[in-house]
Amino acid sequence: MRKSKKITRYLLLTIVTLFATSLLAGGGEEGHAGPINTEEDIQAYIQHHLQDDHYFTLFTNGETGHHVGFALPVIILDGGVHIFSAAEFDHGNQLVEKGGNFYRYYHSKIYRTDENGTINYDERGFPSNGKPLDLSITKNVVGILLASVLLLLLFGGLAKSYQKGPIPTGVGRVLEPLVIYVRDEIARPNIGDKKYRQFMGFLLTVFFFIWILNLLGMTPLGFNVTGNITITVCLALFTFFIVQFRGNKEYWKHIFWMPGVPVIMKIVLMPIEVLGMFTKPFSLLIRLFANITAGHFVMMSLIALMILLKQDFGVVTSTTISFVLSLFIMLIELLVAFLQAFIFTMLSALFIGMAVADHDHH
């Protein structure tokens, strides 16, 4: 049984890798109507993959430039509310007129433009056109909604299984050890036996939310939610606000007037401790963002080896090298997906524990 499970896992990983490889071989950025076969095209594709998008593009015909997938709803506020499908942009090939204004889809962003679709640039080479307030349902939003639905279904099933008896059934058998692990290895040691229960809901939500999003990011759907800096900032802010609002008087005393320290040192340490209030959540958001983004970049780069090496080593050899390396990195990414969820939850529990801990000063 164990061998068969391992074989099944390896087969699933192989299928995912092959599908991702086929996507890179045939996919492209908006407006790209040819096959990806140069370093510039590959860099543009990887950058496009790491960004949020208004389309789910499964693959693109390299010869005709026809995109196979579906568009997402666009919601912009600019002199009124304008709701329409991103299909009207045709991946940046068409202008859209709404309310007398012209809009162009350029590098996954929506810009105001004129009837000719002119994009102006500043001295650094970035577009200087104005942008409407974009509240669209993008890929990242879909990923967040999908992860939320999965969490509701999984833990709703776990709660129902407990109504039947003390031993969970079905998927609950997989979830219960993870819940116990978060409780006994993360919450209790860092927050304490007396206070950990009131923070278990947040810690479990953060752990499973990040883990599921990381796993979704390894699928050919192209999710990169935790690799988006705005998402990691939001998650870190939740931890920050919980720490500040639930911190006891001992926590604030150790920041502004540390006990048992000479007065001069208290004055010196106070700004350092205040700065530490903000560096802790900053380390949370940067660590998650950087590791997930780097993982996606390395994975896509290794898959691209078959394109760069096919002229020197042939299609079969370059594909084999790319496949082996990509499969190896994907196995590591499976570990990283769990590890980053664990680290974020562990550090959040540690910061909360430091804020709510009772100190005995003799």
Please tell me the predicted confidence (pLDDT) of residue 22. 37
Same domain, 351 and 232: yes
Report yes or no: 263 and 326 within 8 Å, Cβ to Cβ. Answer: no
- What is the reported pLDDT for 337? 87
Instruction: Look at residue 296 and tell me if it is in a domain.
Output: yes
Among the listed residues 206, 231, 202, the one whose alpha carbon sits nearest the alpha carbon of residue 292: 231
What span, in angstroms and rounded, lies between the C-alpha atoms of 81 and 77?
5
Domain that holds residue 79: 73-136
Domain boundary among 136, 156, 180: 136
In whole angstroms, what is the distance from residue 230 CA to residue 262 CA? 41
Q: How far is 70 from 234, CA to CA, in rounded Å?
A: 28
Position 119 in a domain: yes
Domain count within the chain: 2
Does 50 fall in a domain? no
- Whether 200 is covered by a domain: the verdict is no
Query: What pLDDT sits at residue 116?
Result: 87
- pLDDT value at residue 318: 66
Distance CA(126)–CA(117), nearest Å, equals 16
DSSP codes of every residue in 209-277: HHHHHHHHTTSTT---STTSHHHHHHHHHHHHHHHHHH--HHHHHHHHS-TTS-HHHHHHHHHHHHHHH
Rounded-to-integer distance, Cα 215 and Cα 339, Å: 12
Tell me which H or E stretch contains 181.
helix 172-181
pLDDT for 14: 40
Q: Which residues of 55-93 are buried (b: 16+ CB within 10 A; e: fewer)?
A: bbbbbbebeeeebebebbebebebeeebebebeebebbe
What's the CA gap between 229 and 302, in Å, rounded? 24
Residue ending a domain, choose from 136, 154, 178:
136
Could you give the CA distance from residue 348 to residue 223 in angstroms, rounded to a whole number?
Answer: 24
Other CB atoms within a 10 A radius of the CB of residue 159 amount to: 11
Count Cβ atoms below 10 Å from residue 208 Cβ, excluding itself: 21
User: Is there a single domain that holds both residue 132 and residue 218?
Assistant: no
Write out the chain's pLDDT in tens, 362 residues. Answer: 444 444 444 444 443 443 343 333 333 344 444 455 555 656 666 666 667 788 877 666 555 556 667 788 999 998 889 998 888 888 778 898 888 889 998 888 899 998 888 888 888 888 888 889 989 888 889 999 999 999 999 888 888 888 887 888 777 888 899 999 999 999 999 998 888 999 999 999 999 999 999 888 887 777 788 888 889 999 999 999 999 999 888 888 888 888 877 888 888 888 888 898 899 899 888 988 888 877 777 777 766 666 666 666 666 666 677 677 777 777 888 888 899 999 999 999 999 999 888 766 54
Residues 113 and 229 in one domain: no
In-domain check, residue 40: no
Tell me, yes or no, whether 190 lies in a domain.
Answer: no
How many helices, marked H, and strands, marked E, lie in the chain? 12, 8
Largest distance between two CA atoms of the chain:
78
Q: Residue 189 falls within a domain, yes or no?
A: no
- Residue 31 placed within a domain: no
Query: Which residues in 78-163 belong to E strands, given as ranges?
Result: 81-85, 96-98, 101-106, 109-113, 133-134
- Domain final residue, candidates 105, 136, 167: 136
Cα angle value 327/328/333 (rounded, 5°): 90
Same domain for 232 and 332, yes or no, is: yes
Whether residues 228 and 316 share a domain: the answer is yes
Contact between residue 59 and residue 19 where contact means Cβ atoms under 8 Å apart: no
